[in-house]
Structures are given as structure tokens and as C-alpha cells.
Amino acid sequence: MERKIIYELKSLYRDSFRVTGFEFGQGEKSACIVGALRGNEVQQLYTCSQLVRALKRLEAEGHVREGKSILVIPSVNTHSMNIKKRFWPTDNTDINRMFPGYDLGETTQRIAAGLFETIKDYKNGIQFASFYIPGVFVPHVRMMKTGYENVDMAREFGLPYIVLREPRPYDTTTLNYNWQVWESNAFSLYAGTTDRIDYGDVTLSVNAVLNFLRKEDIIEHSAFVHEGYIASVVEESALVHVQTAAAGIIDRFVAPGTNVTRGDVLSCVLDPYDGSVRSEIVAPADGVVFFAQEEPLVYANAAVYRLIRG
């Protein structure tokens, strides 16, 4: 394993900002795994740390294939992480809206450019991503329908679901999109939570990446790793959005992964002063809870669940 600084930016009063990578094996740029792009993506950071740990052992035991190299970058936004901020400390810009970057542009454009210059030539690009609404997903692989997406390869992770979605205007500036444009096989892995650690989902995500690397013949396993699931492919547009009818405090009865039947009460929105029920949130269809929002206070019309129709 070689630890190396991929990008560095000097700061006036803080320590230099550094993007640090961990390289395993030598030769063809086979796979790059990127963790936290935002300062609150602690689950993504921790997942990468466990992946680095696993790969270190596999490399020491000679299980990284000859002529293949893997790069893991646990965090691209340490300066925000250390002050518990999601976006860039000074101007609040999002590094994941700056790709492919511009080396003469603004600060986060330069960071994106510095990172992308190093990682754009990898054959496979995997990003541990997060959602802008605080909540928990069933772990899955998410792919944009750019024409470059490869669903069969996504199955190699062995995660329960593969979600396909149409690109939106802002997607053209994300890491995943630009990896695809540069002809990498790009995958976004949603590892459950964001700003808190779910250890079970971390294990699932690490195993998913190891499964993928093994099936792509980049590593061989020295120990038993569960093969995972036969993934169901879901179109994001087919997910059922379940919204609140009223604002208040939410009392949730079901967690992500739960099978629900049409008419089941998923949660209640309560009056925050007297605890009376303002509205019941009822499953509009049979299905599986795919996403659950986590905040205790909810607005009206808030999408608190997303279901995969059964």
C-alpha cells in the first residue's frame, strides 16, 4: 500500500487541505473508490477506512492481481469534515457540483480538477454517495441513464437493488457523470446513512466492493465474503413517494427494508404541543420501504418515505 497526497491547497491559518489516497497493487488503473465528497459523509468515510483495512490485508497476503491497481480516497473534503459542515467552509460550494473541474477556476473547481486529473483514467469508478435529505436508504447501486451505464456490471456488487434514473441538469457537474463521460464504468453506492455510522451497512458496502473487485478479477478473496443478493433493478421514476399531509413531529413505525401492504399506517404526524394525531401516513401501495427520512420535525408535503412497488 502506498499512501499519497493527490491534491494539496495551502490555507492561511489552517493546516493545508489535503486529499489523500491509498494505492494497492501496481499496473493498470483498475478501480478507484471515492468516499466523502461532503463534510457530513461520515458513513462514507468510515466505509472507505474499512475498505482500506481489508485491502491492506489482501495485498499483504498477495491477493491483489498482478498488473492491477486500486486507489481508495476516503475523503475529498477534510476541511469541512473537521468543522462539521457539509459544503466548502468559506463559500459553501459543493465539490460534487464542480466536475470535471477547472484548474484555474475557483477553489472547489480546482479541488475537483486536481482530483479528477488523478482518477479519470480508472477503468471502474465507485463513489460512496449521499442524499441531500437526511435519511436512510436500503443499500443500493445508483446509476444514471447516460447511455454508458452497465447494469450487468452493477449486479456484481451483490447489493439488493440497482436504481436507474434519468440525469438532471445539475448531474453534468457530478463525479459520477464525468467518470462516465471519460469512459469509466461509474457506480454510486448508497451505503445507508450519511452523518452517523450504521455498522451493518458498512460491512455490506465493503463486501459489495470486494465482490465487485473479485468478479472483475482485480483481487481474489482470501476469506469468505458473502456473495450478496441477486439485485432487483428499479427505475427511480417508479418509486412511490409517500408525503406528509401535515407538518409536526413524526412518529415512525417502519424502517427501511420493511415490507408494507397498501393501507398500512407507516407513521403519524403529531401536534408538537399536545401530541394529538394530525395525520396518519398510510402506504399507498404494496411494496418495500426503500428510503425513510430521519428528521423528527417534518413539513407538510415532505417526502418521508419512498417505496418500491411490490
Partner 1 sequence: MIQTVTKIAMPVDETLRIVKNRIGSGQGKRISIVTGTHGDELEGQAVCFEVARRLQECPELLSGTVDIYPALNPLGIDSITRGIPGFDLDMNRIFPGTEDGAMTEYIASKIVGDIAGSDVCIDIHASNIFLREIPQVRINTQTSKELVPLAKYLNVDFVWVHAAATVLESTLAYSLNSIGTPTLVVEMGVGMRITREYCMQLTEGIFSLMKHMGIWSGEAGEPRKPIISTDGQVQFINAAASGIFIPQVEHTKQVRKDDYIGDIVSPHEGRVVERILSPCDGMVFTLREYPVVDEGSLIARILEV
Would you say 199 or 299 has its CB closer to partner 1? 299
Considering only residues 74-113, where is the footprint of partner 1 by CB under 8 A? Answer: 86-87, 90-92, 97, 104-110
Please tell me whether residue 223 binds partner 1 under the rule CB under 8 A.
no
Distance CA 138, CA 160 (A): 8
Pick 224 or 273: Cβ nearer partner 1: 273
Answer for the pair 69, 94: CB distance below 8 angstroms, yes or no. no
Q: Does 147 bind partner 1 (CB under 8 A)?
A: no
Considering only 29-37, 44-52, 145-153, 296-304, which stretch makes contact with partner 1 by CB under 8 A?
Answer: 296-304
Q: Are 129 and 139 in contact (CB under 8 A)?
A: no
Residue number, 153 or 285, with CB nearest to partner 1: 285
Q: How far is the CB of 298 from partner 1 (least distance, A)?
A: 6
| Residue closer to partner 1 (CB basis): 50 or 243 | 243
Helix (H) or strand (E) holding 259: strand 259-260
Strands in 106-195 per DSSP E:
124-129, 135-137, 140-144, 161-165, 185-190
Closest approach of partner 1 to the CB of residue 296, in Å = 9
Does 170 contact partner 1 by CB under 8 A? yes
Question: Distance between CA 4 and CA 26 in Å, rounded?
Answer: 14
> Closest CB to partner 1 among 106 and 216?
106
Least separation, in Å, of the C-beta of 146 and partner 1?
Answer: 13
- Considering the rule CB under 8 A, would residue 237 count as an interface residue with partner 1? no
At residue 168, φ and ψ (nearest 5 deg) are -105, 165
The reply to whether 20 sits near partner 1 by the rule CB under 8 A is: no
Stretch that binds partner 1, among 120-128, 154-162, 164-172, 258-266 (CB under 8 A): 164-172
- DSSP-based three-state secondary structure for 196: coil
**Is position 11 an interface residue for partner 1 (rule: CB under 8 A)?**
yes
For residue 296, count other CB atoms closer than 10 A to its CB. 10
Among residues 120, 93, 96, 97, the alpha carbon closest in space to that of 107 is found at 93
Q: How far is the CB of 307 from partner 1 (least distance, A)?
A: 15
* Nearest residue (CB) to partner 1, 1 versus 249: 249
CA distance 91 to 93: 6
* Strand order, beta sheet including 248-252: 277-282, 265-270, 248-252, 297-298
Pick one of 298, 305, 306, 308: the residue that binds partner 1 (CB under 8 A): 298
Residue 276 makes contact with partner 1 by CB under 8 A: no
Single out the residue of 169, 224, 274, 276 in contact with partner 1 (rule: CB under 8 A): 169
Name the burial class of residue 82, with classes exposed (0-12), middle (13-18) and buried (19+) by CB atoms within 10 angstroms of its CB: middle
Instruction: Name the residue among 33, 7, 16 with its Cα closest to residue 117.
Output: 7
Pairing of strands 240-243, 303-309: antiparallel
DSSP state of 219: B
Q: Which is nearer to partner 1, 241 or 262 (CB)?
A: 241
In the bound state with partner 1, the residue whose beta carbon lies nearer, of 9 and 233, is 9
Interface with partner 1 includes 272 (CB under 8 A)? Answer: yes
Q: Is 246 in the site for partner 1 (CB under 8 A)?
A: yes
Q: Which residues bind partner 1 (CB under 8 A)?
A: 9-13, 86-87, 90-92, 97, 104-110, 132-133, 168-170, 172-173, 241, 243, 246-249, 272-273, 297-303
